[in-house]
Amino acid sequence: MSHTVIVTGGAGFIGSNLVRWILRWRDWHVVNLDALTYAGNLDNLRQVEQNPRYHFVHGRIEDARLVRQVIEQYAVGGIIHCAAESHVDRSILSAEPFIETNVRGTLVLLEAARACSIERFVHVSTDEVYGSLEPEDPPFTEESPLRPNSPYAASKAAADCLVRAFVHTYGVPAIITRCSNNYGPYQFPEKLIPLMIANALEEKPLPVYGDGQQVRDWIYVEDHCRGLIAAYEHGQVGEVYNFGGESERRNVDVVRAILRLLGKPESLIQHVADRPGHDRRYAIDCTKARQQLGWAPTVDFDQGLERTIAWYRNNQAWVNAVRSGEYRSYYRQQYGWRLSESSQGSSQEA
């Protein structure tokens, strides 16, 4: 019988790209366990929903009974844990759901992995657990101390610590991966790149936080997916692997590049109040993944950005659909605080 893996959060951005990747490149069965929060969308998986190796289970990872039932029913061999509350700005508005899903949910999955003797567990984490870098600092390595600054990053660091503890205490065969900022198709338009593309297409203001000089390292989502599978197949239990795109960019330069590629004016850029506690710079050293997993990023940032823009241009109905409903009220709340604190912003809704 072929191998079966659970992808938690498979209806989200990275999860849905990962599910498609696995079904295309491996002969495994994939069980997508997803609660379908505002960020989870089954439209992201239309291309594979008829595939007999794809299975969807609607539910929360904190539901211990459900998790065990799914593992038993599908004879699951491994778990790739993507499910999370993933947006820093939301965690600033309310940390509670981040603790519930990212910390308690991870604990429930680890307990189930232990009880059901799961063979492999990849915990999908983030470089944000390392905190912020100064311009002259070397990039984060796997040995960098955990110094999370946002409630989101703190919840992910707490989950990472639980994974480590379950490896050491109970021998759960888990691996932690920490990746830099992803971009690509199906990313919810609350994150920088899809938000800016979606707003620019509609000629709405592009809200740049503070001076826009913050630096992120950008990785195309498929490169991350390949890294997750490399860690799943070849990683050493108990190890941490960093993934990054080796493409550091200032936010304002990313936004300008999007406007240039779309032929829109820079006057759409609107500097708004800075994010509280905003991390200045992330950069990641992926030497370990290169040397030990034979992995390397392959998509150059300019090429990846063009591909991403083309996808959003061709999928504006998807953007409109995910921006409707609950998201709109959140968005108003979000822009409420941002614009009220802004010295430069207008009160126009983005």
Q: Which of residues 25-84 bind ligand NAD (CB under 6 A)?
A: 34-37, 39-40, 60-62, 82-84
- Write down the residue that tokens 């910390």 correspond to: 103
Can you tell me the distance from the alpha carbon of 265 to that of 263, in angstroms, rounded to the nearest whole number?
Answer: 7
The answer to whether residue 156 forms part of the interface with ligand NAD (CB under 6 A) is: yes
- Identify the residue among 5, 6, 14, 322 touching ligand NAD (CB under 6 A): 14
Kindly state the helix (H) or strand (E) to which residue 22 belongs, with its residue range.
helix 13-25
Asked about 128 being catalytic, the answer comes back as: yes
Q: Which amino acid is at 275?
A: R
Whichever of 34 and 248 has its CB closer to ligand NAD, that residue is: 34
The pair of three-digit structure tokens given for residue 11, joined into one six-digit string: 């209806």
The answer to whether residue 208 forms part of the interface with ligand NAD (CB under 6 A) is: no
- Write down the residue that tokens 């759960």 correspond to: 172
Q: Exactly one of 62, 128, 217, 223 is catalytic; which is it?
A: 128
The answer to whether residue 86 forms part of the interface with ligand NAD (CB under 6 A) is: yes
The number of beta carbons lying within 10 Å of the beta carbon of residue 11 is: 26
Can you tell me the distance from the alpha carbon of 46 to that of 24, in angstroms, rounded to the nearest whole number?
Answer: 14
Q: Which of residues 281-310 bind ligand NAD (CB under 6 A)?
A: none
251 binding partner (options ligand NAD, ligand TYD, none; Cβ < 5 to 8 Å by kind): ligand TYD
Q: Exactly one of 85, 127, 223, 279 is catalytic; which is it?
A: 127
Residue nearest to ligand NAD (CB): 12
Asked about 142 being catalytic, the answer comes back as: no
- Identify the residue among 5, 6, 7, 11 touching ligand NAD (CB under 6 A): 11
Identify whether the C-beta of residue 257 lies closer than 8 Å to the C-beta of residue 305.
Answer: yes
**Of 18, 7, 22, residue with least CA distance to 56:** 7
The number of beta carbons lying within 10 Å of the beta carbon of residue 248 is: 19
Q: Exactly one of 130, 152, 232, 335 is catalytic; which is it?
A: 152
H helices within 99-150, ranges in order? 106-115
Identify whether the C-beta of residue 219 lies closer than 8 Å to the C-beta of residue 247.
Answer: yes
CB of 138 to ligand NAD, least distance (A): 20
Asked about 152 being catalytic, the answer comes back as: yes
226 binding partner (options ligand TYD, ligand NAD, none; Cβ < 5 to 8 Å by kind): none
Active site residues: 127-128, 152
Binding site for ligand TYD (CB under 6 A): 88, 128, 181, 191-192, 195, 207-209, 214, 216, 251, 275
